[in-house]
Chain A
Amino acid sequence: MDNMAPSKKAGFQKERERFGYAMVSPSMVFLIAVTTLPLVSLLAMSFFRIDLTSPMDNGWAGVENYTEIIKDHRFWHSMRLTAVYTTVTVVLQVMIGLALAMAFFRGFRGQGAMRVSVLLPMILAPVVVGLSWRTLILTPEYGILDYLSILMGFGSKPWLVHPSWALVSVILIHTWQWTPFAFLVFLASLNAMPLEPLEAALLDTRNSWQRFRFVILPMIRPAVYIVIIIRTMVALRAFAAIFSATGGGPGTATEILNLYAYRVSFNSLNLGYGAALGTLLLLLTVGISMVFFRMRKAN
């Protein structure tokens, strides 16, 4: 009689579990179809030569795609761009996001309306952002930014047509769109801080910078790590905004790894090589995120 009760309960729990599985199974199937299957086929494709421009030679290639990548200057160029693009955008997002969050944390007049406008970029689709920057903001003389640049005496800049400026532009676009995310996380984290240590710091520190550096920043450090990790992941595989603003150009000036993989696959129609590039990007992303998570744990 004594062990009747637990077994009964277990049966009841099992039924609940089964029901749970039944409920999530459609979305699981969907997820496997749109994420796992493409991933597996990507990996498989990377070991084949699939060049639609000369389909005769297609077939098993082993690691040939990979050995070729190592010798590929355009690949290394895209890696350097990816590194610069990711590092600069993440650093900018964290710094600007933190500064904005601190400003909102202290509070000022007209805060409500400002908060909405700060968050707006994030809800736009990246393609829209890329296109609207290209047309509304960066167009020579008529774009808002170019106009401001002229007004401030810096003159019109070749925002999208000069290689260096194009890189600056895509970094600006990404930062503009995604700083709100960092801002949001930081603001939430600031608002969750216990108030009393902050007040104690008001008595203990000599200026606001010390208070921020030694009291506030350590308390929101976990949020900073999270933002760095998430934003790095996203920056590494940025695509739509660059694609719609510069398409990777001029030349290969803004062709980060993701765009290179796309261009190889769908412009040059060399699907096998593109798949190998894509696989490397995946490994890179996973590797870096694992390092970050380790670092976060260690702290």
Chain B
Amino acid sequence: MAEVILRNVCKLFGKVPVVRDFSLNIADGEFLVLVGPSGCGKSTTLRLVAGLESLSSGEIYIGDRLVNDIHPRDRDIAMVFQNYALYPQMTVYDNMAFSLKMRKVPKREIDQAIRRTSELLRIDQLLDRKPGQLSGGQRQRVALGRSIIRNPHVFLFDEPLSNLDAKLRIAMRAELLELHQRLMTTAIYVTHDQLEAMTMGDRIVVMNEGVIQQVDHPETVYDHPVNLFVAGFIGSPSMNFLDCRILQNGDSLCAATDGLRLKIPAGKQARVQSYVGRDAVLGIRPEHIGLASDPARCDCLAGFTAVVRVVESAGSEKIVHARVEDHSLVARLDPHTRLKTGETVEFAVRMETVHIFDKVTGQTLM
């Protein structure tokens, strides 16, 4: 068990900065998820912690030990790689036993550990097989088993579930979490799948272009994204963005764009007061757009008329793509909603949940 601290970590490949001024404290026993689009430096960050890449500057602590110059094998970490990285010529048993053998752990102890771990992961039937003879999910478990068995202080996961099919992925997600509850080992988990991040993390770190955007609990990141990038990245279907202008309308404010004029709730007006007359970006989550005909549960609704373009039925919900003038909007509606393509419909937005971003900096205003 150990906490992991990254302090002003930078990594350059040649002259290209890939991780920039990354500072983060990961508590002992925490399950931290690193999420961001492809190429944003997640793997690199993880590899820096593992010691597979050298730091350009900054400090990394595992436990109370500065590990900058400590060899990966002495960092007390276990890593689960994206492509499993099993040793192809060894059986499952040998794969799991390998690190312990190299550490001269007595044979009998190794054997017991393998029995225990393989039962836990339900791979005890596979011990004699080679990795080439396993399915993706089984390999995944073996890779997991191989790292668990070492009893490391920190787990590093690099998109361990990305090669699995959707169903298995969800099952493994739950298993991983269960495992973490049991072992309570500090874990850093990399994924580019925001849904995975939302469901798994105690806290999630949203990265973009090597820079931390936001670190917080999943709900907080979802409800209060700090900037345009986070708002757009987290959530599926992603948030609707509309370029708008903040206008004074009597003693209230509204966000206006051609065809739309949405009133900003009184409680939040103070935050955008200084933006009156300036351009901003309006962000509306699809689930915050409803039909005007629905019984409204909130006082602050802003309505608009739109033409339905596409209706996707997803069983538990209906995703509706609609058009207002030049803007297209996505709404997440009740599955029983009946809408036809081409129909003109009255929509309503719950304005107290709407976000407004600075158009230039992308920072959240409200």
**Nearest CB of B to A230, in Å:** 22
* Contact, CB under 8 Å: B50 / A203: yes
* Contact, CB under 8 Å: B87 / A196: no
Contact of B103 among A202, A206, A214 (CB under 8 A): A206
Contact of B88 among A199, A205, A214, A219 (CB under 8 A): A219
* Contact, CB under 8 Å: B102 / A196: no
Residues of B within 8 A of A164 (CB): none
**Nearest CB of A to B331, in Å:** 43
Contact flag A196-B99 (CB < 8 Å), given A203-B72, A219-B88, A219-B89: no
Within 8 A of A (CB), among B66-110: 72-73, 75, 77-79, 81-90, 98-99, 102-103
CA distance A203 to B78 in the complex (A): 7
Residue A59 at the chain B interface, CB threshold 8 Å: no
Given A194-B83, A200-B86, A205-B99, 12 additional A-B pairs, CB 8 A: A196-B83, A196-B84, A196-B85, A197-B87, A199-B85, A200-B79, A202-B52, A203-B75, A203-B77, A204-B98, A205-B73, A218-B89
Residues of B within 8 A of A196 (CB): 81-85
Summed over the interface, the residue pairs from A and B with CB atoms below 8 Å come to a total of 56
CA distance A286 to B72 in the complex (A): 48
Among B75, B86, B89: residue with most chain A CB under 10 A: B89
Residues of A within 8 A of B88 (CB): 194, 197, 219
CA distance A199 to B53 in the complex (A): 11
9 tightest Cβ-Cβ pairs between the two chains A and B? A196-B85, A204-B99, A218-B89, A200-B85, A196-B81, A202-B72, A205-B102, A197-B85, A203-B72
Report the interface size class on chain A: 10 to 19
Using a CB–CB cutoff of 8 Å, the interface residues on chain B facing chain A are 50-52, 72-73, 75, 77-79, 81-90, 98-99, 102-103, 146, 150
CA distance A196 to B98 in the complex (A): 15
Look across to chain B and name the residue whose beta carbon is closest to the beta carbon of A199: B52
* Contact, CB under 8 Å: B102 / A210: yes
Contact flag A200-B102 (CB < 8 Å), given A205-B73, A206-B73: no
A-B contact pairs, 26 of them (CB 8 A): A194-B83, A194-B85, A196-B81, A196-B83, A196-B85, A199-B79, A199-B85, A200-B85, A200-B146, A203-B72, A203-B73, A203-B75, A203-B79, A203-B99, A204-B73, A204-B98, A204-B99, A204-B102, A204-B150, A205-B102, A206-B102, A206-B103, A210-B102, A218-B90, A219-B89, A221-B89
Contact of A200 among B81, B89, B103 (CB under 8 A): B81
**Nearest CB of B to A220, in Å:** 10
CA distance A120 to B83 in the complex (A): 39
**Nearest CB of A to B170, in Å:** 25
CA distance A210 to B78 in the complex (A): 18
Residue A215 at the chain B interface, CB threshold 8 Å: yes
Among A194, A200, A201, A219: residue with most chain B CB under 10 A: A200
Within 8 A of B (CB), among A238-296: none
Using a CB–CB cutoff of 8 Å, the interface residues on chain A facing chain B are 194, 196-197, 199-206, 210, 214-215, 218-219, 221
CA distance A91 to B13 in the complex (A): 40
Look across to chain A and name the residue whose beta carbon is closest to the beta carbon of B73: A203
* Contact, CB under 8 Å: B73 / A200: no
CA distance A142 to B28 in the complex (A): 70
Residues of A within 8 A of B84 (CB): 196
CA distance A196 to B84 in the complex (A): 8
Residues of B within 8 A of A206 (CB): 73, 102-103
Residues of A within 8 A of B73 (CB): 202-206
Residues of A within 8 A of B99 (CB): 203-205
CA distance A218 to B77 in the complex (A): 25
CA distance A49 to B103 in the complex (A): 67
Contact of A199 among B81, B86, B150 (CB under 8 A): B81
**Nearest CB of A to B355, in Å:** 40
CA distance A194 to B87 in the complex (A): 10
CA distance A63 to B51 in the complex (A): 70
Look across to chain A and name the residue whose beta carbon is closest to the beta carbon of B47: A199
Residues of B within 8 A of A205 (CB): 73, 99, 102
CA distance A218 to B79 in the complex (A): 22
CA distance A194 to B85 in the complex (A): 8
CA distance A219 to B50 in the complex (A): 24
Residues of A within 8 A of B83 (CB): 194, 196
CA distance A200 to B50 in the complex (A): 10
**Nearest CB of B to A107, in Å:** 14
* Contact, CB under 8 Å: A215 / B85: no
Residues of B within 8 A of A203 (CB): 50, 72-73, 75, 77-79, 99
